[in-house]
Chains A and B, each alone.
Chain A
Amino acid sequence: DAGITQSPRHKVTETGTPVTLRCHQTENHRYMYWYRQDPGHGLRLIHYSYGVKDTDKGEVSDGYSVSRSKTEDFLLTLESATSSQTSVYFCAIGGGGGNQPQHFGDGTRLSIL
């Protein structure tokens, strides 16, 4: 399995609180991605990174920010969590150049009450 670790694995928090999810890789891969997966919507890209300090928005970026200060770490932050952000969040590495597959972490189950 690709060396990807997501933390925390589960989190329950309240509306309005800030939340940060971490993705850590040991593959030294340039590209990293954050997705959310919801019933009826499939996997949707939130943000991605193509290098240290280089990030771009995905399909559903509103309400989320990201940071990548080191190759191995990609952080996803919900500045003020809302119930609509209750979801399963997956980090992925790989891709890039459009012809390579991505490999996923185990996911983070986030519930916002």
Chain B
Amino acid sequence: RKEVEQDPGPFNVPEGATVAFNCTYSNSASQSFFWYRQDCRKEPKLLMSVYSSGNEDGRFTAQLNRASQYISLLIRDSKLSDSATYLCVVNGGYSTLTFGKGTMLLVSP
């Protein structure tokens, strides 16, 4: 079983739409969770950390379900600039992170 699994997409949505991505992880001992975004031919950038109680940052909401071992990211009121690949990230060992392969989002006018 892959350690961090994501639907590769692409998810095609119109501007203003709400879109959600899910991610599952296999290591039940994982304690830290993040979402990164990566634009084409650029480095990954931290979007937000994911906390047990769920957390929101503007139009972005992240949720964690430890019992089912999945993480979600909700984007409201999508913008053209949200088009990117979103990486689900889970801590692997004490000092390492494991990255999912990413979900591609395309927002169209």
Which residues from chain A sit less than 8 Å from chain B, CB to CB?
31, 33, 40-43, 45, 48, 50, 58, 90, 95-107
Contacts and interface: CB of A to CB of B under 8 A. Distances in A.
Given A43-B87, A101-B49, A107-B43, A50 B95 contact: yes
B79 interface: no
A85 B93 CA distance: 25
Contacts of B100: 42
Contact of A90 (B44, B96, B102): B44
Contacts of B101: 40-42
Nearest to B30: A98
A98 B87 CA distance: 17
Interface of A is mostly: loop
Chain B contact residues: helix, strand, loop or mixed: loop
B99 A42 contact: yes
Question: Which of B34, B89, B94 has the most chain A CB atoms closer than 10 A to its own CB?
Answer: B94
Given A58-B96, A101-B34, A43 B44 contact: yes
24 contacts: A31-B95, A42-B99, A42-B102, A43-B99, A45-B96, A48-B95, A50-B95, A90-B43, A90-B44, A95-B95, A95-B96, A95-B97, A96-B95, A98-B32, A98-B91, A98-B93, A98-B95, A99-B31, A99-B91, A100-B32, A101-B89, A102-B97, A104-B44, A104-B45
A45 B108 CA distance: 34
A48 B93 CA distance: 12
Contact of B43 (A33, A96, A97, A106): A106
B87 to A, nearest CB: 7
B25 to A, nearest CB: 14
Contacts of B94: 97-98
Contacts of A58: 96
